[in-house]
Amino acid sequence: MNDLLLRALRREPTERTPIWIMRQAGRYLPEYREVRSKVDFVTLCKTPELATEVTMQPIRRYGLDAAILFSDILVPVEPMGFGIEFNPGPVIDRPVRSAADVERVRVPEPEQELPYVYEAIRMLRRELEGKVPLIGFAASPFTLAVYMVEGQGSKNFDKIKGMLFDAPEALHALLDKISETTIRYIGAQIDAGAQAFQLFDTWAGILAPETYREFALRYASRVLDALADRGVPRVYFALNSAHLWEEIRECGADALGVDWRTGLDKAHGILGDRFALQGNLDPCVLLASPDTVEREARKVLERARDLPGHVFNLGHGILPPTPPENVQRLVETVQGHRG
Amino acid sequence: MNDLLLRALRREPTERTPIWIMRQAGRYLPEYREVRSKVDFVTLCKTPELATEVTMQPIRRYGLDAAILFSDILVPVEPMGFGIEFNPGPVIDRPVRSAADVERVRVPEPEQELPYVYEAIRMLRRELEGKVPLIGFAASPFTLAVYMVEGQGSKNFDKIKGMLFDAPEALHALLDKISETTIRYIGAQIDAGAQAFQLFDTWAGILAPETYREFALRYASRVLDALADRGVPRVYFALNSAHLWEEIRECGADALGVDWRTGLDKAHGILGDRFALQGNLDPCVLLASPDTVEREARKVLERARDLPGHVFNLGHGILPPTPPENVQRLVETVQGHRG
């Protein structure tokens, strides 16, 4: 078995740097678009055979060092009591705007209520036959709260911040419910066979350090800590978080995602040897020429030389217009590199 | 004359902290919406009497410590050879995508080609009668290049980054032309009567430190340096730039804008005594209750206590749904505060 990912995340020695790519199963792949031409996004997420198929596509094509369950961070929102549509961005029905709204939020039993997630994980583990590890994931509680409160994409995040500044108790009550749900949701992913997991804190970067600590870090840490004894590496990825490293350093993850804004050597200097680091090529580089991809990937590898553990990834999800041959060059560059 | 702003920007002693607000003349004000119900945004920018009227509105209503010319950072784009529309976000006709496109970009004579900007400044100086200073402004060259290349709002900035990674010479040639235009554009604002100016680097934060240094800082510094001997304070504001402080520290501005992501005391610690700082209340705070506005404003003032110079402002432009009475409370809190 190729367990490079698991070893790198645990800061154990590896022969070479493992690579996976956020949103590696996605629209940039013609074979993914082929599947999507027949079913909508929600159906794809909810049909284990199809989710398994698209999860496997980039593994087959590129020989990446890990598979990540094809799903969406908003999947747990439905059993928590919300209607949700994608057109194409997510739109949540009756978003949370008050303490009374928080009251009606359910803490579900994900294993019973989201059986398709766990069925896809079991199917994937059989399909992967132990060749590469399978990563599970969820949104961090704060990021899920942003979607539940804003209801849809936001430019200024005025509704979540309005709640944060004017009704902090209501937001804390919501974050409590989301945290409990997330612990169950990921815990059952591990039961079903996920061999590592990542907590995505996509919207952490909109907060100042003090509010980040109170409303985001605290709940991400609660989830990470609750799952510490499950024996799988835990990755925490806060996008656009260069102003938050001192706070993030206190979280209990095994590995931290880093976006392209902070050099991996610099992040290592701030964060110390306690964490493996994952990242951090700018996804826009993959829209350039293959030679540029190779040059920029080598720069990332060079700056990662002295890390206690490094998993190569992008600094954010791969972009739909990415040419598949650029991903080929990226994977060859990283997998051919000996540090 | 109330010259608190000019003294604070020069790090000279002030009796109290001056305050102005980014986009203080704007849609949150009923008297602004009244004007806009009769004319479109472009007409408003291009009609000196109307631009003067809306510039004065927040000065009359709140007694702010500075006026800032009502205009748009994209105004210079038109004489550089681009059609532009606002519906409501800016859309630029035939954006720059290649070295050949850069060739056709003009370096205009703003004083001749944008007479309405300078007429508005002269009119405003008469109208202000020296009561408070008038601030001029422009986009930083990199931020203007983002608009010229993307053509419209962008989520991933893939076109500007594609040029940056694959055709850096073409981007440098474009930035050269924009820098020269910007030096002329602001220089003529000073000639017409602007008593300070701000360079807005709204998109600096999408870059990594190395690319920021090469494509953004270098050209912002060129503009700032070229205008150093004009005797007016120069403010540089890079949004979402917490990962760039070490680079920004090298720019030649008199004052730096800071968004809410970095505490003013922390920014002072990194940036030293060379700069006055401007900021940094989260604009979302102004959507909360008046008491929350006062509480959060006092936190900013407290953290600014030891700065060599502080101008109170938001960390980004004021949001259209802001209740005007919250701005009243903010101004009273800041102007009533004795440090």
Mean confidence (pLDDT) of chain B:
97
Alpha-carbon distances, residue B235 vs A130, A158, B56, B227 (angstroms): 58, 27, 21, 11
Order of all β-strands in the sheet with B255-257: B67-68, B134-139, B196-201, B234-238, B255-257, B276-281, B310-314
Would the CB atoms of B161 and A287 count as touching at under 8 Å?
yes
CATH number at residue A260: 3.20.20.210
**For residue B38, how far is the Cα from the chain centroid?**
26
Number of Cβ atoms within 10 Å of the Cβ of A89: 8
Residues in chain B closer than 8 A to A161 (CB atoms): 282, 284-285, 287
* CA pair distance A135, A155, nearest whole angstrom: 30
| Annotated catalytic residue, options B3, B72, B176, B225 | B72
Residues in chain B closer than 8 A to A284 (CB atoms): 156-158, 161-162, 165
Question: How confident is the model over A310-334, as a mean pLDDT?
Answer: 97
pLDDT tens for A231-240 read 999 999 999 9
Question: How confident is the model over B66-75, as a mean pLDDT?
Answer: 97
* CA pair distance B244, A323, nearest whole angstrom: 30
User: Is A292 touching B (CB cutoff 8 A)?
Assistant: yes
Q: Report pLDDT for A133.
A: 98
pLDDT over 90 (residue B220): yes
Would the CB atoms of A284 and B161 count as touching at under 8 Å?
yes
CA B151-B156-B160 angle, to 5 degrees, is: 50
**For residue A110, how far is the Cα from the chain centroid?**
18
Would the CB atoms of B282 and A208 count as touching at under 8 Å?
yes
Residues in chain B closer than 8 A to A263 (CB atoms): 208-210
State how many domains chain B has: 1
Would the CB atoms of B243 and A262 count as touching at under 8 Å?
yes
pLDDT over 90, % of chain A = 96
pLDDT over 90 (residue B273): yes
**Cβ atoms of B251 and B290 closer than 8 Å:** no
* CA pair distance B286, B294, nearest whole angstrom: 10
pLDDT band (50, 70, 90) for residue A1: confident
**Cβ atoms of B234 and B228 closer than 8 Å:** yes
Q: Report pLDDT for B88.
A: 82
* DSSP state letters, A60-77: HHH--S-EE----TTGGG
Quick one: closest CA in B to A242, which residue? Answer: B243
CB-nearest partner of B156 from A208, A296, A319: A319
* CA pair distance B138, B200, nearest whole angstrom: 6
Which region holds residue A108: left if phi is over 0, alpha if psi is between -120 and 50, else beta?
beta
pLDDT tens for A239-250 read 999 999 999 999
Catalytic annotation on B72? yes
Q: Report pLDDT for B272.
A: 96
Q: Report pLDDT for B154.
A: 86
Output the CA torsion sign for A322, A277, B261, A210.
positive
Mean confidence (pLDDT) of chain A:
97
Would the CB atoms of A288 and B156 count as touching at under 8 Å?
no
Question: How confident is the model over B11-19, as a mean pLDDT?
Answer: 97
Instruction: Name the one residue in this structure whose structure tokens are 């080609």.
Output: B113
Which pTM value belongs to this model? 0.96
User: Is B323 touching A (CB cutoff 8 A)?
Assistant: no
CB-nearest partner of A292 from B165, B242, B282: B165
Q: How far is B238 from chain A (nearest CA, A)?
A: 14
Q: Report pLDDT for B339.
A: 67
Domain enclosing residue A201, as ranges = 4-335
Residues in chain B closer than 8 A to A165 (CB atoms): 284-285, 288, 292, 296
CB under 8 Å to B270, separation ≥6 — which residues? B245, B246, B249
pLDDT tens for B148-202 read 999 988 888 999 999 999 999 999 999 999 999 999 999 999 999 999 999 999 9
pLDDT tens for A100-123 read 999 999 999 999 999 999 999 999
- Residue pairs spanning A and B at CB distance below 8 A: 75
Longest dimension (CA), chain A: 57
Q: Report pLDDT for B286.
A: 97
Q: What element of type H or E holds B237? A: strand B234-238
Q: Report pLDDT for B183.
A: 98
User: Quick one: DSSP state of residue B152?
Assistant: B
Q: How far is A156 from chain B (nearest CA, A)?
A: 8
Would the CB atoms of A284 and B162 count as touching at under 8 Å?
yes
User: Quick one: DSSP state of residue A283?
Assistant: G
Identify any residues that bridge with B197 across adjacent strands, giving them in sequence order: B136, B234
Catalytic annotation on B219? no
Identify any residues that bridge with A139 across adjacent strands, giving them in sequence order: A200
Question: How confident is the model over B275-304, as a mean pLDDT?
Answer: 97
Catalytic annotation on B126? no
* CA pair distance A305, A300, nearest whole angstrom: 9
pLDDT over 90 (residue A291): yes
pLDDT tens for A118-138 read 999 999 999 999 999 999 999
